[in-house]
Amino acid sequence: MFTTVPDLISEIYSYQDIVDSDHNFVSFKVHLAPTTSRSVSKEVLNYKKVNFDELRKTLSFILGHVAMLDDNLDNIVSDWEDLF
């Protein structure tokens, strides 16, 4: 067992002859205090209010427009990323 904080590890046991192998099982306890978690804000979108017809129309225009601007794939990807 290697550790930089030996006080956090206790009850180290090596189990030999459990399986036919040149390796041994090792068990140990790690003493860590639970940390407090921060609440994470999460944005929840309401898709019931989406105008999907208008969204499809806009996306088809944007996709077609970006695809026709250049023959270079790198430039197309860059232009697509600039939209967002």
The pLDDT, as a whole number, for residue 63 is 67
Weakly modelled stretches of the chain, pLDDT under 50? none
The pLDDT, as a whole number, for residue 67 is 61
Q: Exposed e or buried b for every residue in 13-48, given b needs 16+ CB within 10 A?
A: eeeeeeeeeeeeeeeeeeeeeeeeeeeeeeeeeeee
